[in-house]
Amino acid sequence: MTDHRAVAVVRWPGRTPPSMDGVAALLTAYHLRTEAEKGGPVADAAGLPERYRTEITDPATAFAGDVVLVALLGDTAVGCVVVTSPAYGQAEIKRLWTDPGFRGRGIASALLDAALAHASENGLDTVRLSVWEWRTGAIALYERLGFTVTESWDERDQLVCMRRTAHVGPGPR
């Protein structure tokens, strides 16, 4: 098991990860898995909806104004999360993904801690996220970090909306 302290979390824009291909691969895996879980599997990125293909092929445009946090083990991108630009005193966490070969090593927790620290550093009161109800492991992680289920702001069926106050330091474990 890798000590999560060995994981470097870099903020982009800011420090560019050694390879944007690694970020594209993480986003591709995230979207392909999500489409399969929703019952509409596609063979490759070309079969994804345009908005998702744009995130993969041109993340600088897709996430303009947002912050992408990338977890690195050495020069290998092993996880990512997007923190949206603030609106109404809050940001949204999106696209949390850890390469399946590196799960169970604290990478998602390190990414979420960095996302919450980023939000707090930028004076945000609240961080919110949405997660598919079948992603029970992710929901359990969010709850351990202090997120609570809240009224939905998204009309998609089977989506759980969660919220947490942003503050410096990790949430309860």
**Segments making up each domain of the chain, as ranges:** 4-165
- The answer on pLDDT for 44 being more than 50 is yes
- The answer on pLDDT for 157 being more than 80 is yes
3-state SS, one letter per residue, for the chain = CCCHHHCEEEEECCCCCCCHHHHHHHHHHHHHHHHHHCCCCCCCHHHCCHHHHHHHHCHHHHCCCCEEEEEEECCEEEEEEEECCCECCEEEEEEEEECHHHCCCCHHHHHHHHHHHHHHHCCCCEEEEEEECCCHHHHHHHHHCCCEECCCCCCCCCEEEEEEECCCCCCCC
- The answer on pLDDT for 170 being more than 50 is no
* Predicted pLDDT of residue 108: 94
> Whose structure tokens read 């104004």?
65
Average of pLDDT values for 31-60? Answer: 91
CATH topology of domain 4-165: Aminopeptidase (3.40.630)
- The answer on pLDDT for 119 being more than 60 is yes
